Amino acid sequence: MRLVLTVLATCAALPAAAEEAPFCGGISLVGSWVGGASETSDLTGADQLVDLAARVPIAGHAVHLFSLSEPGTVRADIRAVPDGDPYAAIYDETGNEVASDDDSGGDLGARIVADLPAGTYCLASRSYETSILDVSVLLGPADLFEYGDLLPPTRVVAPETGGCGADDVALFSETPVDAATLETPIAMTAPAAAQPALQFALAQEDLAMTITAVSETGDPLIRLRGPSGEILEENDDFDGLNARIDLRDPPGLGVYCVEVEDLDDGGTPITVTLGAFDPVAERLRRLARMDFAPGPDDPVQPEHLGELQTELVATAPSSQDAIWFTMDLPQGGLMVLEAVATDADPELRIFDRAGREVAHGDDSFGSFDSFVAYRAAPGRYTIGVRARGDDPSGEIRLLAERFVPAQ
């Protein structure tokens, strides 16, 4: 068990360690040295973690100061007590934000793992809540942490780095990557202006990889260049505004470089992750998006609704992942399907027995509901329904009707 140094600091009642002065370029006039004073707050070579308790005021932040006498990797875990949604950022002594995070620590907790040069820094804890938030902050050299069930660490490059081909380009890894390296995805976070490229050397042939770029408010674009500088792939808006490249068949060993752009020009952090391509997870992800209908060997199996003689009705939870149904048409006719919801934006797709998509419906007749009319032959059809957009709620009702020509 590791020893932990505990310090209490609140913004409502300041302890003796708190000082009033412009800190980190003026981001705050009030802050507390994590060790009680500047000379005892150097994290370089520390053998204990610092455990801080802080109170974040409404529309404010709790600031803790620390220093590094040598470059090092620092980690901070910020969790609400007993619950809430904290946000954290690290600023250098001039007031530049060099690292930030929200929700990477699990259970809405924030986690930062940053490679920092020597200097003085401010760790600012903020809140998305509309009331005062109590937080716990665990801070220290990254190698003192035992990650346990936490998500893979997000590594943040603090200083600005160069683009592809530059001597100071940021590196995903100091050593060439192989399958073992990518068992835990490598994630790095910074604005595109500060980190326009990320480089890695491939040490294993035929290693399929996935590269993603995610930002809460930005619009990331990523471009992958091969060992000869050629553009292999480029992607924008793969999932919402986020980008993704699946490199299933890399051209060979050598140095690869990922160029990162923010089309929103907002200067917001973008998390770029390099990991092993998982074909099973990729198929499930595409099934969830209704790119194709599930097959007999897929873990996702449709609910069979029976024969569509005249009318069938089913309900499904409003989910961004597809819910699947099958139905049989004993005779041909006009098949009409509607997906209706009050608190979601439903989308539906119809696939025939050969797995071909034959109809798609979304936002019909000026509403968010979906309507499809398809002249169908007899046979079994698979219907996928899902909710588009963020945070869907309620249920989606599926109505299927069959019409035949009048005799």
162 domain-assigned: no
26 & 116 share domain: yes
d(CA 375, CA 359): 10
**Into how many domains does the chain fold?**
3
Cα–Cα distances in Å, from 52 out to 47, 80, 83, 153? 16, 12, 16, 20
- For the segment 128-136, the average pLDDT, to the nearest whole number, is 81
219 domain-assigned: yes
d(CA 194, CA 329): 58
d(CA 160, CA 24): 18
161 domain-assigned: no
125 & 10 share domain: yes
Output DSSP code: residue 108. T
d(CA 387, CA 369): 10
- For the segment 70-86, the average pLDDT, to the nearest whole number, is 88
Q: Which helix (H) or strand (E) holds 357?
A: strand 357-362
214 & 311 share domain: no
108 & 211 share domain: no
114 & 228 share domain: no
43 & 104 share domain: yes
Percent of the chain with pLDDT over 90: 46
46 domain-assigned: yes
* 82 vs 257 pLDDT, higher one: 257
Over the stretch 271-315, which tens digit does the pLDDT of each residue have? 999 999 988 888 998 899 999 999 999 989 999 999 999 999 999
d(CA 309, CA 259): 55
* 18 vs 29 pLDDT, higher one: 29
286 domain-assigned: no
d(CA 57, CA 44): 30
Strands 154-157 and 110-116: parallel
Strands 333-340 and 231-236: unpaired
Residue 200 is predicted with a pLDDT of: 94
269 & 361 share domain: no
Check whether 12 has a pLDDT greater than 60.
no
Of these ranges, 15-24, 52-61, 154-163, the one predicted with the greatest mean pLDDT is 52-61
Residue 6 is predicted with a pLDDT of: 42
- CB atoms closer than 10 angstroms to residue 175: 10
d(CA 98, CA 117): 11
Cα–Cα distances in Å, from 270 out to 218, 225, 349? 7, 19, 33
Percent of the chain with pLDDT over 70: 90
pLDDT band with cut points at 50, 70 and 90 for residue 53: confident
Whether the CB-CB separation of 82 and 133 falls below 8 Å is answered with no
Q: Is 110 exposed, middle or buried (0-12, 13-18, 19+ CB in 10 A)?
A: buried
Cα–Cα distances in Å, from 48 out to 2, 44, 63, 153, 364? 7, 11, 20, 19, 60
Residue 155 is predicted with a pLDDT of: 52
258 & 360 share domain: no
d(CA 57, CA 62): 8
22 domain-assigned: yes
Residue 257 is predicted with a pLDDT of: 95
Handedness of CA 63, 65, 70, 72 (dihedral sign): negative
73 & 137 share domain: yes
Sheet holding 395-403: strands in order across? 311-317, 395-403, 333-340, 370-376
By residue range, what is the domain housing residue 83? 4-151
Q: Which of 122, 151, 180 is the last residue of a domain?
A: 151
188 & 260 share domain: yes
**pTM: predicted TM-score of the whole model, two decimal places:** 0.54
- For the segment 95-100, the average pLDDT, to the nearest whole number, is 88
- For the segment 230-249, the average pLDDT, to the nearest whole number, is 90
99 & 226 share domain: no
- For the segment 29-34, the average pLDDT, to the nearest whole number, is 86
d(CA 377, CA 334): 9
d(CA 178, CA 63): 40
Sheet holding 231-236: strands in order across? 170-171, 197-202, 254-262, 220-225, 231-236
Domain CATH for 273:
2.60.120.380
Query: Is cis: bond before 86, omega within 30 of 0?
Result: no
223 domain-assigned: yes
What are the DSSP calls for 362-394, one per residue? ES-TTSSSEEEEEEE-SEEEEEEEEEESSS--S
- For the segment 4-22, the average pLDDT, to the nearest whole number, is 44
226 & 341 share domain: no
Whether the CB-CB separation of 153 and 112 falls below 8 Å is answered with no
Output DSSP code: residue 179. T
Residue 20 is predicted with a pLDDT of: 52
Question: Residue 369: which of 394, 402, 352 has the closest Cα?
Answer: 394
Question: Residue 185: which of 216, 220, 209, 207 has the closest Cα?
Answer: 209
